[in-house]
Structure 1
Amino acid sequence: MAPSRISPASSGAVTAATVPQSAVLFHRKPDAGPRCLRHLDKPRELRHLSGTMQSDIPLTRDLVLIGGGHAHALVLRRWGMNPLPGARLTLIDPTPKAPYTGMLPGHIAGHYPRTALDIDLGRLARFAGARLVTGRAVAIERAARRVSVEGRPDIAYDVLSIDIGITSAPMRLEGFDAHGIAAKPLGPFADRWQRFVEAVRSGSEKPLCAVLGAGVAGVELALAMQHRLFGVATRPQVHLLDTGAALTGVAPATQRILRRQLRSAGVHLIENAEIAKITHDSVELKGRDAIRSALTVAAAGARPWPWLADTGLDLTDGFVTVAPDLRSTSDPAIFAAGDCAHLAHAPRPKAGVYAVRAVPVLHHNLRAALMGESRMRRFEPQKRYLKLVSLGDKSAVADRGALGLSLPGLWHWKDRIDQKFMQKFRDLPAMPPAPLPREMAGGAARELSDHPMICGGCGAKVGPEALETALAGARTDLRDDVLIRPGDDAGALRIGGRIQVVSTDHLRAFTDDPWLMARIAALHALGDIWAMGAEPQAALVNIVLPRMSAQLQARTLAEIMSATKDVMSECGAEIIGGHTTQGAEMTIGYTVTGLMPEASTPIGVGGARPGDHIILTGALGTGVILAADMAGRADADVVTAALSHMSNSPQTAAQSLKSARAMTDVTGFGLAGHLAAMCRASDCGAKIDLAALPLLGGAEALLAAGRRSSLHAANRAHAAPRLADLDDAPRSEILFDPQTAGGFLAALAPEDAPNVLAALEAAGVQAADIGRMTPSEAGIRFR
């Protein structure tokens, strides 16, 4: 079948989509190694298809998970070990990590570092073949089956599941929004607590806290806070307040133990308190003296997220009402689990144990819904469960039904339970690769051994040596209206007295989010236009989509074109058409043109002079971070920061650098390769201060751990002979790291550099003066 071609008169769907290769039974990225799934439960409609290649199964259904709660995290883990062919999986969460509730009191008390609480949703999504959308869901349009997410286009679904937890923020309490913090969601509170402890340690904050809500959660937090503050300050004071009686709902023996522990720890319990308002340093009470508090935390009750009220779903006290199969009682396409759900057939208090116990049923029923099967399992929660309540220090009380007791070793038992749960996400199962064929052409096995993975983005490029060899002598020199300057980022054409620059670029997907991938690819392509001092004019879009149904093609193209339109609108360029086709995986590319100002010539890589300041905008490290992410070995916060860096437009930086004598964008061949090209074209050398190079967070640590992009070795081999005084330290290796949507490398006259750096700083653009151009005989050196 011929590929489709998009014309300017078409619907504007000039884009391809990012699709997890998990449509199939293999790892999303083929080069990461196929997964061997011996116990695959094939969908009924596929059981009769003998000989069908799993990679040929088209994507036909979208499963969207809102929230990275415990139930969804465990569903993702199960999905990674047994994905459903034909289903595309999306996880939406405001943050790339989800904290585990069970270990929060231990962290507050200082027994666990902050990192011990986090379920890395980025790694988990990569393992499951899901795209992670880091954003806040704010609405569900049920008729159109779309989820609204802040700051990006809607995300379509066929089956939806909600696991967004609860909030403990009080609904109406004057001053709380400005001066208080809710204990749930846990992430913001844990981060706020960490900052508060450091402020108390430094003496900039007083060790005075108040906890609103004297249930089990409030008591645990108050004891943990008091224990931690005793370690960093003298005479800390924690107040625990409740509008009614404390510790209702636990066994009498448990209540006695906890009240005794509060007194022993010095926590002040105030029951039947009428709270008037919260200020920056107090909790004001009606009929009583105000409580001094530098940090006020709400741990009272469990409130649903307000936006659920606008979904039109059946709700019970604001929580999604679900049937025994965990589907909404009003919409069979929507499931809910965890604290945000209300079990109509078996109401239970809000507790993480029910979310975890519901996972097998939720996982089975989501798969059944995607396959169109009506057979659903029932979730029958237990009536009672064991609570292990932390007491601040490393002790605990056990509560179950009418029983409560405190025994030596209970905290360590709780710790083992919590650590075992978290270990499920720290050590994701290693799925063995499929065996290689017994017979292969000579050199194939060695190539697989030397290059087991091809990176996405610029890391997938052909090496510079092979490219230069292929291009040598390829020019025809047939036209005098085409300006040919070796090494320049884009071609230059004389048209009617003006100079138009033109360039093309495309990227192999490194994220399964088509909207984000398209934005980064568009900015990456425009970098060549900006580097030559031109203003973007027009763009053609070229897209390869994995095999998928027409419905999913339309959804994916809509996301890609939304990002494309945003980028091109921001820089004043017009989208004039493009080309789409289906292939093995998603690739997005752009052919872009730009116009030079009248009577001006393009900035090239030649033109630098000895003594010029070498300015680098942005930061380095996208190649190694993306490579580690593909291998499932990158921290989600590091990956998210890198993706954010790549998706920021460099237009302001380019405008500030228009006085540059020479300029290029730093992309696939790394800083060393692009600097060498500038030196060759300018007949100069360079001296670079390695310590001045700006690096993305986590990049140097990954290099030190031996992580490398698949293009790294070729970049090093090509550039190293031109470099001197270079050691093998991890920071030196950043010179060969291929960059995607990288910053600009510019040579500026000494009299211009200070003003340009000041302008970049004023505009909020990250930039560094990393060295000087030198005479050519000096070569490229480092200090």
Structure 2
Amino acid sequence: MHRHDIPLTQDLVLIGGGHAHALVLRKWGMNPLPGARLTVINPGPTAPYTGMLPGYIAGHYSRETLEIDLVRLCRFAGARLILSHATDIDRTARLVHVEDRAPIAYDVASFDIGITAKMGIPGFDGFAVGAKPLDVYAKRWRDFLAAVTSGDIEPEIAVIGGGVAGCELSLAMAHALSSAGIEPRVTLLQSDPTLSGLGNRARHTVEAKLRGAKVTLRTGVRVTEIAADHVVLGSGDKIPSQLTVGAAGAFPHEWLAQTDLPLRDGFIETTPDLSLPGDPTVFAVGDCAAMPFAPRPKAGVFAVRAAPILYHNLRAALTNGPRKPFKPQKRYLKLISLGEKSALAEKFDLAFSGPALWRWKDRIDRAFMDKLDDLPPMQPPALPDTLAQGARDILAAKPLCGGCGAKVGNTVLRNGLSSLQGPTDAAVLSVLGDDAAVLKQPGAGFQVISADHLRALIHDPALMTRIAAVHALGDIWAMGAQPQVALSSIVLPHMSQALQSRTLQEITDAARAIFDHAGATIVGGHTSMGAEMTIGFTVTGMRETPPITLSGAQAGDCLVLTRPIGSGIIMAAHMEGTARGADVAQALNEMAEPQDRQAFHLRRANAMTDVTGFGLAGHIAAICRASRLSAEISADAIPVYSGARDLSDRGVHSSLYHPNVDNAPTRGRSDPLLHDPQTAGGLLAALPPAEAEIAIRDMAAEGKKSCIIGHLTDGEGPITVL
């Protein structure tokens, strides 16, 4: 039996994308536990690597260099990634509460959420930024540096905290300003009489570096207030500061105090096997954890060393196997960035510094990131020696995509449906090829009905449901109708009854949210189990006047598009593990957003459709064929998802790409993205120029993007791309 045929029976939930969890994901991808479903909850698609932050601030690294791509890691590990904040945990019901969505059930859970440098100083929340979380600080730093470079503000910085982090960041920011030809005015404020966290030799070296970088060090001072342009000390002195950074110690996330988790000074208490006292199903690791069995300072090295033990013990918790204790080293090497490409190494009260040590630190940091970036390719199952004729050719081609990339090509579809006759009932007004069937309702206008289902693009049932619901509603919106009722059609992978119940609850909650927003009611459906998750809906809608179809367009009409293209390429690359996580997350977020307001503003369209599996060119061609017109479009006017153009230039495409090219040939400028199948794509409407301008203006007023991408002309012919 192949491991994918084994039913899912246990839910493992990793809360946070810290260093230890990132390494666990890599190991899980190399050796997953059959029967276990893995979920990761993290606010963003990437997690910054702390070891390279000073180098990034100093300008030695790009932002991408220090970001751990959690989307790629989760895809490699077969895990679903929920991009949101965990807000609470119910250990009795075994639920993790998540911002803006239903709780996530777990059988085993682990915390690796890091710490914050947020301080309880008056004015901190409004005018300062903590060094952690790193993504927030990094953005504030980029904005500050840009403003200083343009001359809008003075290069005044105050850093609160004279430990290793405060010293590294002070030197890094001073170096970045000096490199830009700007005289830095950085003040490092320390409450203790001397710098902390350093031995005597290391401290003297760092103090000399601070003086050389023209960083003012003030020790034995206490910050009492932070304002927009200065910091107030206990003595009454005011330190000018346009950017105030808190780097004084490690503070736990405040929401942990509202839980029933065992805490020590706000950090999650753990036992030698990294689980909680009295609760072997919940673990904690990294800076968010307290280890009373082996007290250690907050340092990333311990999270990295704990990762193999955590991976082993998580599997043990899921299989009722023996566990291993974590034995952190008592002494560890400190490698401290000194602003320029120089570093200091300290261990056993010995300290050395220089460019060679920076190169050593750089190799160590890059090796860590390479481990999480250079993921082994996913190997397909071995084929039998003997196959029926043609089977090997199909399997050797591009793997089948999910979403609309898995649809049957339009040419095959038209041939397969060619034997269908037109409607014989006078109440049925359908034309094959329109987005939805049209039924005349005596005395009640018109009803439209359509069905759509999607092979899962991602592992998250809730997000996949949102996308499938928006996708199905697209046909109703494209007809200018008001959604009415929906029937669900769900196929779940083989799983235990407990996981069936959890999964269906997530699907139901997500579907209800979308259809409630659209003004429709879910009235039933059908659920079964199969080889993989598939989610679909049959949806009806009502309209008092005849629905908008493909055939009403007029020469001179503008073509208005409400959503970018390129989702098929991004999802194909995601399946291959070559897409940037941030690009995948952005596309998924857009695909899950309803388009009811866009449909409202396009209700006067002469013709309309939604851009889905046949690609933008295919859907423009459908309007042209039905309306007996041609089209001219501007490739530069068409919005494209971030990352899609680069992937297209590298030759990435969906499995439906070639059938789409055959279905809708174009002339003029070549652009593969025109044939990219879209899932939950934008509405494509043909409107008179004046109506198009009004619709775009009204959508913009509501924060909805849309644009004119071309116009229709007399005579039938191929699409011209300018």
TM-score (norm 1): 0.91
Offset of residue 180 of structure 1: 0.7
Structure 1 pair 431–708 and aligned structure 2 pair: CA distance change class (3 A): closer
Partner of 2:352: 405
Amino acid at match of 1:152: R
Matches within 5 A, 1:30-45: none
Partner Cα distance (1:565, 1:778) in 2:
43
Partner of 2:668: 725
Contact 2:423–2:429 (CA under 8 A) maintained in structure 1: no
Post-superposition CA distance 1:139-196 (Å, at most 9, x none): 00111100111111100000000000101111x2111111111101111111221222
Partner of 1:501: 448
DSSP-derived class of the 2:290 partner: strand
Contact 1:81–1:431 (CA under 8 A) maintained in structure 2: no
Contact 2:430–2:439 (CA under 8 A) maintained in structure 1: no
Partner of 2:639: 694
Partner Cα distance (1:258, 1:556) in 2:
54
Contact 1:65–1:91 (CA under 8 A) maintained in structure 2: yes
Amino acid at match of 2:647: L
Of 727, 735, 756, 2:674 maps to 735
Contact 1:486–1:681 (CA under 8 A) maintained in structure 2: no
Matches within 5 A, 1:558-573: 558-573=505-520
DSSP-derived class of the 1:648 partner: coil
Of 103, 122, 135, 1:154 maps to 103
Offset of residue 251 of structure 1: 1.2
Matches within 5 A, 1:610-689: 610-689=555-634
Partner of 2:691: 752
Amino acid at match of 2:715: S
Partner of 1:492: 438
Partner Cα distance (1:152, 1:161) in 2:
20
Contact 1:98–1:121 (CA under 8 A) maintained in structure 2: yes
Contact 2:625–2:716 (CA under 8 A) maintained in structure 1: no
DSSP-derived class of the 2:251 partner: coil
Of 198, 211, 226, 1:278 maps to 226
DSSP-derived class of the 1:367 partner: helix
Partner Cα distance (2:265, 2:652) in 1:
50
DSSP-derived class of the 1:569 partner: helix
Contact 1:619–1:766 (CA under 8 A) maintained in structure 2: no
Offset of residue 307 of structure 1: 1.2
Contact 2:490–2:528 (CA under 8 A) maintained in structure 1: yes
Offset of residue 205 of structure 1: 2.5
Contact 1:251–1:401 (CA under 8 A) maintained in structure 2: no
Offset of residue 484 of structure 1: 2.2
Partner of 2:26: 77
Partner Cα distance (2:253, 2:229) in 1:
27
Matches within 5 A, 1:195-234: 195-234=143-182
Partner of 1:130: 79
Partner Cα distance (1:383, 1:724) in 2:
69
Amino acid at match of 1:726: R
Greater shift, 209-218 or 751-760, is seen at 751-760
Offset of residue 227 of structure 1: 0.5
Matches within 5 A, 1:306-705: 306-373=254-321, 375-451=322-398, 453-475=399-421, 477-497=423-443, 498-597=445-544, 600-705=545-650
Amino acid at match of 2:511: T
Partner of 2:657: 712
Partner Cα distance (1:77, 1:228) in 2:
34
Show structure 1 runs of 5+ residues with no match.
Answer: 1-51
Amino acid at match of 1:472: S
DSSP-derived class of the 2:279 partner: coil
Offset of residue 576 of structure 1: 0.6
Greater shift, 402-411 or 389-398, is seen at 402-411
Partner Cα distance (1:377, 1:724) in 2:
65
Partner of 1:774: 713
DSSP-derived class of the 1:334 partner: strand
Offset of residue 725 of structure 1: 1.7
Partner Cα distance (1:330, 1:383) in 2:
26
Structure 1 pair 506–393 and aligned structure 2 pair: CA distance change class (3 A): same
Contact 1:313–1:331 (CA under 8 A) maintained in structure 2: no
Offset of residue 408 of structure 1: 4.8
Of 124, 127, 131, 1:176 maps to 124
Show structure 2 runs of 5+ residues with no match.
Answer: none
Partner Cα distance (1:717, 1:206) in 2:
59
Post-superposition CA distance 1:570-599 (Å, at most 9, x none): 1111111000110000000000000112xx
Partner Cα distance (1:249, 1:478) in 2:
84
Structure 1 pair 357–716 and aligned structure 2 pair: CA distance change class (3 A): same
Post-superposition CA distance 1:303-358 (Å, at most 9, x none): 11111112212111111111100001132210000011111211111111111111
Contact 2:46–2:69 (CA under 8 A) maintained in structure 1: yes
Partner of 1:187: 135
Offset of residue 776 of structure 1: 1.3
Partner of 1:142: 91
Number of matched residues? 721
Post-superposition CA distance 1:382-426 (Å, at most 9, x none): 101010111111111111132222245111111111111111012
Offset of residue 777 of structure 1: 4.5
Structure 1 pair 76–269 and aligned structure 2 pair: CA distance change class (3 A): same
Contact 2:159–2:244 (CA under 8 A) maintained in structure 1: yes
Contact 1:250–1:401 (CA under 8 A) maintained in structure 2: no
Partner of 1:45: none
Offset of residue 700 of structure 1: 0.7
Partner of 1:25: none
Greater shift, 243-252 or 306-315, is seen at 243-252
Deviation >6 Å, runs of 4+:
none
Contact 2:157–2:244 (CA under 8 A) maintained in structure 1: yes
Contact 2:192–2:220 (CA under 8 A) maintained in structure 1: yes
Amino acid at match of 1:98: A
DSSP-derived class of the 1:606 partner: coil
TM-score (norm 2): 0.98
DSSP-derived class of the 1:540 partner: strand
Matches within 5 A, 1:245-324: 245-324=193-272
DSSP-derived class of the 1:751 partner: helix
DSSP-derived class of the 1:752 partner: helix
User: Cα RMSD between the aligned structures?
Assistant: 1.2
Structure 1 pair 233–159 and aligned structure 2 pair: CA distance change class (3 A): same
Post-superposition CA distance 1:239-276 (Å, at most 9, x none): 00012233223211111111111111110001121212
Amino acid at match of 2:370: Q
Amino acid at match of 1:655: F
Structure 1 pair 300–585 and aligned structure 2 pair: CA distance change class (3 A): same
Contact 1:314–1:330 (CA under 8 A) maintained in structure 2: no
DSSP-derived class of the 1:332 partner: strand
Partner Cα distance (1:115, 1:198) in 2:
18
Contact 1:215–1:246 (CA under 8 A) maintained in structure 2: no
Amino acid at match of 2:393: R
Asked if 1:113 is matched to 2:37, the reply is no
DSSP-derived class of the 2:626 partner: helix
Partner Cα distance (2:201, 2:430) in 1:
86
Asked if 1:91 is matched to 2:40, the reply is yes
Offset of residue 431 of structure 1: 4.5
Offset of residue 779 of structure 1: 4.3
Contact 2:469–2:536 (CA under 8 A) maintained in structure 1: yes
Post-superposition CA distance 1:52-86 (Å, at most 9, x none): 34332100000000000000000000000000000
